[in-house]
Amino acid sequence: MELQSVKQRFGIIGNSELLNRAIDKALQVAPTDISVLITGESGVGKEVFPKIIHQFSSRKHGPYIAVNCGAIPEGTIDSELFGHEKGSFTGATDSRKGYFEEVSGGTIFLDEVAELPLSTQVRLLRVLESGEFLKVGSSKVIKTDVRVVAATNLDVEKAINQGKFREDLYYRLSTVPIYVPPLRERKDDIILLFRKFAADLAEKYRMPVIRLTEDARQELMNFRWPGNVRQLKNITEQLAVIEKEREIDREIIRRYLPASGTSKLPVLFKEEQEENKHLSERELLYKILFDMRKDINDLKKVVFDLNKEEDVRQSMGDERYYEMNSRYGHSTTKHREPRKDVPDIQHESFVPGNYYSEQIEDSSEPIQDSEVVEESLSIQKKEIDLIKKALEKHQGRRKQAAKELGISERTLYRKIKEYNIES
């Protein structure tokens, strides 16, 4: 069949060699049952090619359905495609046939197929290989005879590398790949499309047709058209409805063309932005965690120093401890000027036991029964000591002791058993 008659039948505008090659490929593969994957940017008109394939196939009298995989929620996509049994999930009040069962003997067009969840991709692969599938909530194998044509505007190889699309499914779908070129790769078709859209709009709303000056034509042809045919149609409609002048020059065109025309597709740009956003959030989270870790370490050091000083005080006795602090320039009862040869316990990293030990050894005045206590770093020992003190303070009453420790009575009972503490 001649390409021109196919274009007229399906409303395809353009004489680009790339476009003609895509149409010719669709016509050649149509009589077979081979799976077809249509690739191309958003807005190029990929949805026309499955219709061409179906109408020129032996299934043309069978059903045809187009399914937008990206528009169906992930939780219901399996039910929509393969059906479900009654009671298989909440809200499944009746059994339901899926698209693959309903369209048996015809063609199903899976648009945005790369948006399918990985679990659904496994089910789809089985249908393509054996024509078999299971309904949701059923163990009965169902056979179907469906021709699958799929389409995507994503970079499939990138999706495979990112683990978002199965490689085996890609090769099974793309037995015959058809590439639909973007508008910037068929610049000569831009003016033809503009004239078609302008004429259709003038006829619909009974208004004069808008026309382009030569410089306006060049402006349209030099634009990148990230939204492709869909974007061109949108701008044509704006010009026809808003502008009073029917002759459109370059200055008027520039007011309607967005600055993003020199960039790549918004879909890809958006993905890069999302990746950078997640990276920034991750780095911020790491920074917060590291700051928290530093604060906890500082707090542990303060608590350790305080416990060290308390242990020294208890080992010496209150009177000897206060006497020692007074002798070496520290006072626990009132403020005194610290001696220059003694480190300030509040401003220096200071371990009281070690310092007192050195001063006692060097002092000419003997101190009887001096003892340096080495700090135990056992958390378990500290916990046992605290439990014993709390029990002694409250005379063995566990409820009051647990409240004092800030734990439940059940936890206290468990720890008493665990540490074999006599209460």
CB distance 57 to 107 below 8 Å: yes
CB count within 10 Å of CB 321 equals 20
Distance CA 409, CA 328 (A): 45
Both tokens of 192, joined, read 């033809």
Token look-up 């078609």 returns 196
Backbone angles phi, psi at 142, to 5 degrees: -115, 135
Q: Indicate left, alpha or beta for 228 from its phi (over 0: left) and psi (-120 to 50: alpha).
A: left
Query: What are the DSSP calls for 105-129, one per residue?
Result: TSEEEEETGGGS-HHHHHHHHHHHH
Count CB neighbours of 207 within 10 A: 13
Helix axes 188-205, 214-222, angle to 10 degrees: 110
Q: Please tell me the distance from the alpha carbon of residue 163 to that of residue 410, in angstroms, as a whole number.
A: 48
Q: Is 341 exposed, middle or buried (0-12, 13-18, 19+ CB in 10 A)?
A: exposed
For residue 200, the tally of other CB atoms under 10 A from its CB is: 15
* In the chain, where the domains are located: 3-181, 185-262, 281-362, 379-419
- For 402, counting Cβ atoms within 10 Å of its Cβ (0-12 exposed, 13-18 middle, 19+ buried), the class is buried
Chain Cα centroid distance, residue 194? 39
Given the DSSP bridges, would you call strands 36-39 and 147-152 parallel, antiparallel or unpaired? parallel
Q: Mind listing the pLDDT tens digit of every residue in the chain (423 residues)?
A: 588 999 999 999 999 999 999 999 999 999 999 999 999 999 999 999 999 999 999 999 999 999 999 999 988 999 999 999 998 888 888 999 999 999 999 999 999 999 999 999 999 999 999 999 999 999 999 999 999 999 999 999 999 999 999 999 999 999 999 999 999 999 999 999 999 999 999 999 999 999 999 999 999 999 999 999 999 999 999 999 999 889 999 999 999 998 765 444 444 444 544 444 444 555 666 667 777 777 787 787 777 777 766 666 666 666 665 565 555 555 444 444 444 444 444 444 444 444 444 443 444 444 444 444 444 456 788 888 888 888 888 888 888 888 888 888 888 888 888 888 876
- Side-chain-side CA neighbours of residue 359 (13 Å): 14
Which residues does 234 contact at the CB level (< 8 Å), separation at least 6? 227
Is the CATH number of domain 185-262 2.60.40.1120? Answer: no
Opening angle at CA 201, ends 195 and 207, nearest 5: 105
| pLDDT value of position 143 | 95
Residue 333 to residues 53, 193, 325, 340, 367: CA-CA distances in angstroms?
96, 94, 10, 20, 22
Task: Tell me the one-letter amino acid at 298.
Answer: D
Within 10 angstroms of residue 376's Cβ, the number of other Cβ atoms is 12
Tell me the residue ranges of DSSP E strands in 18-113. Answer: 36-39, 64-68, 83-84, 96-97, 107-111
Q: Which CATH code for domain 379-419?
A: 1.10.10
H or E segment to which residue 309 belongs: helix 266-316
- CATH class given for the domain over 3-181: alpha beta
Residue 264: in which H helix or E strand, if any?
none
Q: Per the structure block, which two tokens stand in for 97? A: 């046939």
Q: How far is CA 406 from CA 333, 386, 409, in A?
A: 30, 11, 9
The whole-angstrom separation of Cα 325 and Cα 289 is 39
Task: Please answer whether residues 239 and 249 qualify as being in contact, where contact means their C-beta atoms are separated by less than 8 angstroms.
Answer: no
From CA 393, how far away is CA 400, in angstroms rounded?
A: 9
- Other beta carbons within 10 angstroms of residue 334's beta carbon come to 5
